[in-house]
Structure 1
Amino acid sequence: MIAIGGWSRLSTCDWPGRLVTTVFCQGCPWRCGYCHNPALLDPRAAAHIAWEDVAAHLDRRRGLLDGIVFSGGEPLLQPRLADAARAARERGHAVGLHTAGAFPRRFEALLSEGLLDWVGFDIKAGPDAYDRVTATNNSFPPAERSLRMLRDSGVPHQLRTTVGPSALDGDDITSLTAWLGEHGLHDHVWQTARPV
């Protein structure tokens, strides 16, 4: 159903205040220098986990887990992510998503169908620094579109930005802080890049 490159059967940190199972989807269109899951970047790499195994785990843990988080890589790269989210909800689990918003149409479909209970949204930088951080041209417009949809959806979320020597400098942080304020974006946290 979806390409899964990694799996944490029990996580206490991927959805604040929730006990979840987290699947790490294979593939990402961006190449952030501080990526902590570089093995997941290649979308053509073999998937190591079968969705059926995750689904069976969800069945066994009904009433024990609060939900599932789709992380990555970039989970929106998966064409059938909505099918996996529906399958999890049918098993009685809430659905969380970690995304940077690279695929706004797929994100919009998940939001409009009501398949998401919470989103952890990675804001890479302010508009002027986005392409430098993602090492990808024109990466800001789809992220901004997704971010606006999230803000307007009413879905609970947390916005987070990674800082560190290979990410943002002081001027970048000041610029992003101002941009977030101008757009009424709150519940934002800074996270420190972990050295490899």
Structure 2
Amino acid sequence: MSRARRSTGSIASPKPVLELGGFQPFSTTDWPGQLCAVAFVQGCPWRCGYCHNPGLQSRQRAAGAPRWPEVQVLLQQRAGLLDGVVFSGGEPTLDAALPDAIDDTRAMGFGIGLHTAGIYPRRLEALLPRLDWIGLDLKADAPGYAALTGAPGSAEAAAESLQLVAGSGVPFEVRTTCDSAWLGDAALLAMAAQLRALGITSWVLQRERRPVAGVSGAWQTAAPAPAALCDRLRDEVGLAIEWR
């Protein structure tokens, strides 16, 4: 009796599945001018001093977090009712499954938005043809980046990503959280000059939020920066400023 021939074929590895930390089925603020859903990807390698959602920093999935296949079912039910889906985080470009998730979402008829801090420039560059809008977080001026993010080399990564986005032709906004503990007037003016040098003419400044002492889950939003600083950003650098 002859022996059965041993198979030499290899079994394909399963595709990675996007790891989510949360899902918001409806938002009017995460993509300006668009009605969207927001998928929050779990994980971020930076440890920004003002981070108000540290639960998304770890790559470990939290108990009760939605699973991507479940979210896909919800999105299919909302096709035609929403303009797009924003992939946020955490840092969504951390996840190797993001490109496939974007392609699957676009196939349902949704536009694609991305929130990113520009942590991985090469991954961001590869994603640009898939995107309809980008919200790029600029954290600090170059000397202050590593201290704020806790990550050496973060300033260089962010600067490269900013250049990629500015030259991509994809609609975008650059936004910065104005936490007074990290950013003074000099830092903001240096950041404004960096933007203007790339031909960027507008900048979204987000007011810092602080937890309310003794009240679980409550946050207090700070007032905008003094008008004098906004005037300098406009008059000296030529940037249109929007406060949120």
| Most deviating of 51-60 and 151-160 | 51-60
Contact 1:14 1:69 in 2 (8 A): yes
How far residue 134 of structure 1 moved from its aligned partner, in angstroms, is 1.1
Task: Say what the alpha-carbon RMSD is for the aligned residues.
Answer: 1.3
Once the two structures are superposed, residues 48-89 of structure 1 have per-residue CA deviations (whole angstroms, 9 ceiling, x without a partner) of 111111111111111101110000110010111000000000
| Most deviating of 158-167 and 17-26 | 158-167
User: 2: CA distance between counterparts of 1:41 and 1:32?
Assistant: 10
Unaligned runs of 5+ in 2: 1-16, 212-244
1:25 matched to which residue of 2? 41
How far residue 167 of structure 1 moved from its aligned partner, in angstroms, is 2.9
User: 1: CA distance between counterparts of 2:160 and 2:141?
Assistant: 14
2:112 matched to which residue of 1? 95
After TM superposition, the runs of 4+ consecutive aligned structure 1 residues lying more than 6 A away are none
Q: In the alignment, residue 82 of structure 1 is paired with which amino acid?
A: P
How far residue 44 of structure 1 moved from its aligned partner, in angstroms, is 2.8
Q: In the alignment, residue 109 of structure 2 is paired with which amino acid?
A: G
Aligned partner (choices 39, 64, 73) of residue 56 of structure 1: 73
Instruction: Give the TM-score normalised by the residue count of structure 1.
Output: 0.94
User: 2: CA distance between counterparts of 1:46 and 1:59?
Assistant: 24
2:233 matched to which residue of 1? none
Aligned partner (choices 36, 44, 59) of residue 60 of structure 2: 44
How far residue 6 of structure 1 moved from its aligned partner, in angstroms, is 0.9
Contact 1:2 1:51 in 2 (8 A): yes
How far residue 165 of structure 1 moved from its aligned partner, in angstroms, is 2.6
Contact 1:37 1:72 in 2 (8 A): no
- Larger-gyration structure (1/2): 2
- Answer yes or no: is 1:35 the counterpart of 2:51: yes
Unaligned runs of 5+ in 1: none
User: 1: CA distance between counterparts of 2:78 and 2:61?
Assistant: 29
How far residue 23 of structure 1 moved from its aligned partner, in angstroms, is 0.9
User: 2: CA distance between counterparts of 1:188 and 1:76?
Assistant: 23
Q: What secondary structure is seen at the aligned counterpart in 1 of 2:152?
A: coil
